[in-house]
């Protein structure tokens, strides 16, 4: 996005901010998905700290996929999205920090019951969908 709209030069650290915000969002979505599976699927029972670990791992993996996409775009389309190894490593580090930050927030949300409140309607949808599938 920054390369397409030429935002890297007028906005300092645009790349870092973009990676942090997107990694927090990905981590939050992963947290919700894992939490819903834990609460509403009999096949999974996961400790809150293991949940946090999986959130960080998913976030890191999505950062790697992002970097592969940047590399592929540069290779196939001759668009230079990567500025070298240091830039790539900084992006992956920021992705990891974003995932860890959301994992720590997620632990608190789960322990305080706030994530349950936030996902209660989604949980009902999951239960409704799974019981509907079982009746077929």
Whether 8 and 14 have beta carbons less than 8 Å apart is answered as yes
| pLDDT for position 19 | 93
Is 80 exceeded by the pLDDT of residue 6? no
User: How confident is the model over 109-135, as a mean pLDDT?
Assistant: 78
* pLDDT tens column, 36-83: 988 887 777 899 999 999 999 999 999 999 999 988 988 898 877 777
pLDDT digits (tens, 9 = 90+) for 78-94: 877 777 899 899 999 99
With beta carbons less than 8 A apart as the criterion, state whether 94 and 23 touch: yes
Cα distance from N-terminal residue to C-terminal residue, the chain: 44
Query: Domain spans of the chain?
Result: 14-126
pLDDT at site 8: 64
- Residue 83: its pLDDT value, please? 79
pLDDT at 24 (0 to 100): 97
């Amino acid at each position: 996005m920054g390369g397409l709209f030429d935002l890297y030069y007028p906005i300092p650290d645009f790349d870092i901010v973009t990676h942090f915000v997107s990694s927090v969002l990905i981590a939050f979505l992963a947290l919700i998905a894992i939490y819903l599976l834990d609460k509403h699927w009999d096949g999974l029972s996961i400790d809150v700290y293991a949940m946090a670990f999986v959130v960080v791992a998913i976030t890191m993996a999505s950062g790697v996929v992002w970097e592969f996409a940047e590399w592929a775009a540069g290779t196939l389309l001759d668009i230079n999205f990567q500025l070298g190894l240091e830039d790539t490593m900084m992006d992956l580090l920021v992705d990891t920090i974003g995932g860890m930050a959301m994992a720590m927030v997620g632990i608190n949300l789960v322990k305080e019951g706030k994530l349950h409140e936030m996902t209660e309607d989604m949980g009902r949808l999951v239960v409704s969908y799974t019981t509907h599938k079982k009746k077929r």
